[in-house]
Amino acid sequence: MPVDPDTQKMLDAIEAAGAPPIFDGTDPVASREAYLVAARAAEQGLDGIATEDRTLAGTDLGARVYTPAERSPGTVVFFHGGGWVVGDLDSHDRFCARIARDTGATVVSVDYRLAPEHPFPTPYEDCWAALLAVAADVESFGGGKIAVAGDSAGGNLAAAIAQRARDEQQELAAALLLYPAVDLEGDYLSKTQNATGYRLTKSDMDAFERAYAGSADRTDPRMSPLYGDPSGLCPTIVAVAGYDPLRDEGTAYAEVLEKAGVDVTLRAYPDFIHGFFGMAWMSPACDAAAAELTADLAKYLR
Residue 236's SS3 state is: strand
User: For residues 120 and 114, what is the distance between their CA atoms, to the nearest angstrom?
Assistant: 9
Q: What share of the chain is helix, strand, coil (3-state, %, to 5)?
A: 40, 20, 40
Asked if residues 108 and 95 have their Cβ atoms less than 8 Å apart, the reply is no
User: For residues 63 and 259, what is the distance between their CA atoms, to the nearest angstrom?
Assistant: 35
* Closest C-alpha to 158, from 107, 117, 94, 194: 107
Instruction: Tell me the C-alpha to C-alpha distance, in Å, between residue 260 and each of 78, 188, 235, 257.
Output: 25, 22, 12, 5
User: For residues 225 and 212, what is the distance between their CA atoms, to the nearest angstrom?
Assistant: 15
User: For residues 57 and 137, what is the distance between their CA atoms, to the nearest angstrom?
Assistant: 9
Is the preceding omega at residue 121 within 30 degrees of 0, hence cis? Answer: yes
Asked if residues 226 and 253 have their Cβ atoms less than 8 Å apart, the reply is yes
User: For residues 50 and 106, what is the distance between their CA atoms, to the nearest angstrom?
Assistant: 10
Enumerate the active-site residues: 152, 244, 274
